């Protein structure tokens, strides 16, 4: 398995198991199947509401000696209601308790959006904090603090554009080491990718398969389907692989970590095997030149008339 290297030399397996949308009752077995198949990178988040079950699976894997804790890379994310300095550690403590871990390998600020404590998804203006109430710099200082205490090995962000990243680098001290963002052939994010790499940051692609299984409430009519793209289908036939394997291999060829989600044993194994697929340079170039541009996770659930935030607070304008 290829790895990406943090500035201190720590290694991140380039392919991991995503757990967003994995339901309680399914995610326990999915994590065990993934570890048995060879995955050593598990991506979690408090808001996925399944970390307790993921923790049960990790505990089982350690007890049964399928894998040692030090050989597994576990990521989680700070939810929007824990952005105040005094709440960052509380958010982490809950995640560590649920995952039954003493430390995380990577902890990310999930979104550059702040809610009042205890709010899952803000539904009124009163449930939001603004950047004046809780500056991103304050949240980042909390992240630096938990890293200095050894509770997390690496710290970073998710869904941050260049402007928001620059705010964090301006804090001084440890800067963000990772940005986890939506990426696939319909959303290359070249400007943001190049910026992150110039700052020595690693990147992780979420929704690399298009998140077709997400709730209809956050879908738009007539969304494109990556699996039905004519070039993807052509490469499926050429290499005799699955559409998911084409898309996973695409991210790996870009030297970007990728975290496809599945709760199906065979697809978990099949996705893992994508790490060994070699796309020739001509085919990779064709994937990089796809003209369709589409963001499946558009962030509109955090914006609108009841929110102090705008889409420009989230996304880089290419």
Among the listed residues 48, 107, 206, 309, the single catalytic one is: 48
Token duo for residue 297: 């996770």
Contact 214, 301 (CB under 8 A): no
Burial-class residue 163 by CB neighbours within 10 Å (0-12, 13-18, 19+): exposed
Nearest to 102 by CA among 53, 151, 61: 151
Catalytic residue list contains 48 = yes
Q: Tell me: is residue 154 an annotated ligand-binding position.
A: no
119-155: burial string, b at 16+ Cβ within 10 Å, e else: beebeeeebbbebeebbbebbbbbbbebbeeebbbbb
Token duo for residue 136: 């991103």
Longest dimension (CA), the chain: 54
Residue whose pair of structure tokens reads 């991991």 in the numeric block: 16
Rounded to whole angstroms, how far apart are CA atoms 135 and 294? 30
DSSP secondary structure letter of residue 9: S
Annotated binding-site positions for substrate:
110
Annotated binding-site positions:
110
Among all residues, which ones are annotated catalytic?
Answer: 48
């Amino acid at each position: 398995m290829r790895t990406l290297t943090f500035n201190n030399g720590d290694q991140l397996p380039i392919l991991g198991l995503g757990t967003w949308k994995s339901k309680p009752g399914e995610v326990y077995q999915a994590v065990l199947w993934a570890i048995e198949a060879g995955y050593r990178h598990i991506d979690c988040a408090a808001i996925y509401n399944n970390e307790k079950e993921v923790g049960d699976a990790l505990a089982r894997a350690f007890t049964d000696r399928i894998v040692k804790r030090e050989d597994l890379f576990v990521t989680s994310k700070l939810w929007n209601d824990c952005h105040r300095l005094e709440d960052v550690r509380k958010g982490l403590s809950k995640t560590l308790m649920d995952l039954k871990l003493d430390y995380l390998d990577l902890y990310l600020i999930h979104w550059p959006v702040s809610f009042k404590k205890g709010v899952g998804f803000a539904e009124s203006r009163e449930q939001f904090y603004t950047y004046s109430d809780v500056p991103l710099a304050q949240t980042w200082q909390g992240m630096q603090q938990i890293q200095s205490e050894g509770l997390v090995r690496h710290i970073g962000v998710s869904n941050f554009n260049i402007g928001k990243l620059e705010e964090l680098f301006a804090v001084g001290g440890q800067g963000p080491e990772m940005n986890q963002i939506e990426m696939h052939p319909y959303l290359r994010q070249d400007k943001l990718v190049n910026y992150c790499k110039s700052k020595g940051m690693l990147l992780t692609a979420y929704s690399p398969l298009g998140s077709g299984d997400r709730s209809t409430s956050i879908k738009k009519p007539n969304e494109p389907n990556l699996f039905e793209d004519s070039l993807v289908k052509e490469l499926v036939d050429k290499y005799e692989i699955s559409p998911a394997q084409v898309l996973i291999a695409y991210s790996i060829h870009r030297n970007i970590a990728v975290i496809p989600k599945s709760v199906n044993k065979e697809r978990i194994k099949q996705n893992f095997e994508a790490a060994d697929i070699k796309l020739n340079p001509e085919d990779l170039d064709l994937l990089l030149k796809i003209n369709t541009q589409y963001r499946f996770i558009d962030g509109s659930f955090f914006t609108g008339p009841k929110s102090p935030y705008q889409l420009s607070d989230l996304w880089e304008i290419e």
